[in-house]
Amino acid sequence: MARTQKNKATSGHLGMLKAKLAKLRRDLLDPSKAPGGGGGGGGGDGFDVNKVGDARVGFVGFPSVGKSTLLTKLTGTHSEAAAYEFTTLTAVPGIVRYRGAKIQMLDLPGIIEGAKDGKGRGRQVISTARTCNLILIVLDCLKPLTHKKLIEHGE
């Protein structure tokens, strides 16, 4: 850069080189903000999962309704399930092969009332669910049917 003659023709190129150097310097100082650094998905707190396969299915529902258990049984991927709510804190991917097709399934954290307003990481869960080809609403049969309406209407 020091040897490059500064004029109108080279100023754009020099600016791009300076921006790349600044980005690399920033990534060295704080690796958690670097793409691929930090928590498994590139700066999205574990919600940015790379698309794999032919289709993507997201499990959406309230906490402790069986989303993690369903993912574990269908894909063989271990998704932690426990007797307390909010066991799953990030998106957990798994893959099912069906008639030659690879289908990616995502166990998403439970959403609560007010998720669209940001309660309980609701916005992150909803934005990840929007990237899916199919959303599977998982409900607890012992809970009232109003839970289904709350999830469908985003209230």
Question: What would the pLDDT profile of 112-143 be if each residue is shown by its tens digit?
Answer: 766 566 666 667 777 888 888 998 888 888 87
How much of the chain, in percent, has pLDDT values that exceed 70?
Answer: 72
Banded pLDDT at 41 (limits 50, 70, 90): very low
Question: What would the pLDDT profile of 7-32 be if each residue is shown by its tens digit?
Answer: 988 998 888 999 888 888 777 766 55
For every residue of the chain, which 3-state class applies, written as one string? CCCCCCCHHHHHHHHHHHHHHHHHHHHHHCHHHCCCCCCCCCCCCCCCCCCCCCEEEEEECCCCCCHHHHHHHHHCCCCCCCCCCCCCCCCEEEEEEECCEEEEEEECCCCCCCHHHCHHHHHHHHHHHHCCCEEEECCCCCCCCHHHHHHHHCC
At residue 31, the pLDDT reads: 55
Average pLDDT score over residue span 33-62: 66
Banded pLDDT at 34 (limits 50, 70, 90): low
Q: Which residue has the higher pLDDT, 151 or 7?
A: 7
At residue 119, the pLDDT reads: 63
pTM over 0.85: no
Question: Which residue segments constitute the domains of the chain, with CATH numbers given?
Answer: 1-34 (no CATH), 55-153 (3.40.50.300)
